[in-house]
Copies of this chain bind each other. A is one copy, B any other.
Amino acid sequence: SAMGCKNCCSICLQCLFGYETNVMLVINNKGVGALFRLIQFLIIAYVAVYVCWIQRAYQDTDSVISSVSTKVKGNILTNTSIEGVHVWDVPEYVIPPQGEKSFLVLTNVIQTPGQTQSKCPECESDSDCIEGHTEVHGNGVQTGHCVQYSDTIKTCEVQAWCPLENDTIIPKPALLGAAEHFTVLIKNNIQYPKFSFRKRNLLHHINSTYLKNCTFDRKTDPHCPIFRLGHMVTEAGEDFSIMALKGGIIGIFIDWNCDLDFPERFCIPKYSFSRLDNKNPENNIAPGYNFRFAKYYKNNKSIETRTLIKAFGIRFDVIVFGMVTAICDWVMLTCMKDRDQYAKRKFIHLNQNGDSVPLVSKS
A residues near B (Cβ < 8 Å) are 13-14, 16-30, 32-37, 48, 52-53, 56, 58-59, 61, 63, 65, 67, 69, 71, 73-77, 84-87, 89-92, 95-100, 102, 104, 117, 132, 134, 136-141, 158-161, 178, 181-183, 185, 187, 189, 193, 200, 202-204, 206-208, 211-212, 225, 249, 251, 253, 255, 274, 276-286, 289, 291-300, 302, 305, 308, 311, 315, 317, 319, 321, 323, 325, 327, 330-331, 352-355
Contact = CB atoms under 8 A, between A and B. Distances in A.
A95 to B, nearest CB: 6
A330 B161 CA distance: 60
A35 B16 CA distance: 11
Contact of A56 (B27, B132, B206, B325): B325
Given A75-B141, A282-B207, A24 B27 contact: no
A249 to B, nearest CB: 6
B160 A353 contact: no
A82 to B, nearest CB: 12
A289 B330 CA distance: 40
Given A16-B37, A24-B21, A76-B134, A90 B296 contact: no
B25 A137 contact: no
A86 B14 CA distance: 91
A191 to B, nearest CB: 8
Contacts of A97: 291-293
A274 B48 contact: no
A34 B16 CA distance: 8
Given A91-B294, A278-B353, A321-B65, A77 B159 contact: yes
22 contacts: A17-B28, A19-B29, A19-B35, A20-B36, A23-B25, A56-B327, A58-B330, A59-B61, A65-B321, A73-B136, A87-B141, A87-B161, A89-B140, A89-B160, A92-B294, A98-B315, A187-B277, A189-B278, A202-B283, A208-B284, A274-B354, A278-B353
Contact of A139 (B22, B37, B75): B75
B134 A75 contact: yes
Contact of A136 (B35, B134, B183, B300): B183
Contacts of A249: 67, 69, 189
Given A19-B33, A98-B96, A274-B354, A67 B25 contact: no
A280 B353 contact: yes
B204 A283 contact: yes
B282 A208 contact: yes
Given A22-B24, A249-B67, A48 B283 contact: no
Nearest to A24: B20
Nearest to A297: B298
A300 B77 CA distance: 25
Given A98-B293, A291-B98, A185 B22 contact: no
A160 to B, nearest CB: 5
A46 to B, nearest CB: 14
A233 to B, nearest CB: 15
